[in-house]
Each structure stands twice: as C-alpha cells, then as structure tokens.
Amino acid sequence: MRGPSDRVLELIELTKLYGDRPAVQDLSLELTGGEILGFVGPNGAGKTTTIRMALNLVRPTSGIVRVLGQEVWRRGSRVLSRVGALVEEPTLYPDLTGRENLRAFGAALGGVPGDFIDKLLDVVGVADRQHDRVRAYSLGMKQRLGLAVALIGDPDLLVLDEPANGLDPIGIADMRDLLRRLADDGRAIFLSSHVLHEVEVLCDRVAIIDQGRLVREGEVGALLGGNGEFVVRVDEPQAALAIVRAQPWGASARLRAGRLVSPSPTGRGRDLWAFLDAAGQTPETLDYARRGLEDVFLDATTAPVATAGSEG
C-alpha cells in the first residue's frame, strides 16, 4: 500500500511556447497518492501539451515537472519507470495476442511473472480474450489492454488521456470502478477526459485549463456547491421567471428543465419563497441549486468542451 499523502506529481509554473504562441502558461498543479485529479479543458486549451511535458515527451520552455520529488528531465528514465501512461490510442502489437502483448511490454522491464499478467488481464476485463490477436479487438478492448500495459510496472502514478474512449456504458462503469480501486491502493491518477459526467463522479479534484492557463481548480464538492441560487417548482414557470427578472436582484434567473433557477432577494430561500408567494406564484418546492461540472466548465472557459481524440 502506497502512502495516501505522498506528493507524487508536481507541475510548477509550467510554460510552453511554440514560437511566440503560448500553449501552456504558468501552470502549477500537484497530485498526491490515492487521489484522482480530473484535467479538463476545451480543444486547444493545452491539455495534451501538459501531459506530454509531464511524461518528458516535450521539454517545457520554463518550469519544472517532478515525479516522486525528482525532476523528470534530469532523472527521466529512473523516475518515469514509476509512471504508467495511456495517452490517446494505446500503442499495441496488433499481430500478438493480448497476453503476448503484456509479456512483450513486461520483458522491456526485465520480465513480469505470469501470475501478475493473469491478474492484470482479469483486472481490466480481457482475460477471456487474452489469446485473441489484438487486431481483432474493438477500440474499447484495446483501451482496456492499454490500461493493463500502463499498469505492468506497478506504477505509483497513472497518466490517462481519455481512458473511457470506445467503451460502452457498462465498460465505462467498469473502468470507473477499476480506477477508483487503483486510487484506493494509493496510486495517484491524472485523468484527462472530455466526459464531464465521468470526471464529476470519479475524481476527487478537478483542474480546468483554458487558453493554456489554469482557470479553476478544487475539490469536486466545493466546485459544484451552490452559488446562492435556488431551484423552484411552480405551476407557471414562465410567468414566475418574468416576475423575478423584473427585479434588480433577479437578472440571472432562468429556466432549467421546466423549473425556475433564481437567486433570492436576500440570499435566503425563505425570502425567495415569500416573494414568489406574494406575487401569486407560490412554490411547490424550493431547494438549493447544485451545479454540474458542465456548468462550472462553461462558466470558466471560452470554448466548447473537447471531443475525444482532439488536440488539447
């Protein structure tokens, strides 16, 4: 079991310039053992460049990447042996079977016991297809095997780019459970994904990047907490909306799924209830508004959410 509070990944004031164009600017993040960090942003926001710098595939213009306290471009081969990565589509040998792929990647690490390969195949859910050639695998099966390859060195840090790509809903749920178990074992997981719902339900913290800069970061619960608004069920939501928007405090009111989402004149729910009641729009229910990660994302960024396989 790894230490749950060990600092595993540190990105310190990372900047990457391509000519005069900044791809990433002054980005600082850290990740501890046992934690899953969701890393999200629009197309072209700098996600892929950040991941490549973290894996020592791209040298930053300035700033530092540390894994387990060591700078990756000074101790690259040594420290990166403690990192497992699944970036974009996994690189596999199509003419080898699933099991042969794991044996081949394990050989590069000095050899891996057969019972450990058995465990990996079972963990990622491809044990029943281990003797089939990889060229016959679906994209989802390749993603699962790619995750097994990332785990073959028993890493302390996993860097995953769209790990649910190609998976059906059952596969996505299985992947979510697997990643949670891996984190519970003390691994740190840096997860880049465009599937905001999965990031919301899986990750402990979320970092949102836009135009190369970190624009929002925090624990999921804190980011999604109420922002002083209430969800109100009334008989005539359009009429209630018009009444609220006519007030100086109600300009941000709107409808969501047939319900009124509105601030209160005083910040207290009972005063919003009293106002609507006096206006002839007595609420049936009133509760705090809880935002989804998509709401936070759209508030923080200037572009649509990224799509799978796109440059970030």
> Within 10 A of 294 (CB to CB), how many other CB atoms are there?
13
Both tokens of 198, joined, read 């999965």
Q: Which three-class secondary structure state does DSSP give residue 168?
A: coil
pLDDT by 10-residue block (mean), the chain, 312 residues: 72 96 96 96 94 95 95 85 88 96 92 92 93 94 93 95 86 88 94 91 95 94 77 95 96 91 90 94 88 85 52 53
pLDDT confidence of residue 3: 53
Q: For tokens 């099966």, what's the residue?
A: 141
The length of the chain is 312
pTM above 0.75, yes or no: yes
* Domains of the chain and any CATH numbers: 7-223 (3.40.50.300), 226-290 (3.30.70)
Q: How many Cα atoms occupy the beta-carbon half-sphere of 1 within 13 Å?
A: 7
- 3-state SS of 175-203 is HHHHHHHHHHCCCEEEEECCCHHHHHHHC
Asked if 279 and 12 touch (Cβ cutoff 8 Å), the reply is no
Asked if 289 and 258 touch (Cβ cutoff 8 Å), the reply is no
pLDDT confidence of residue 309: 40
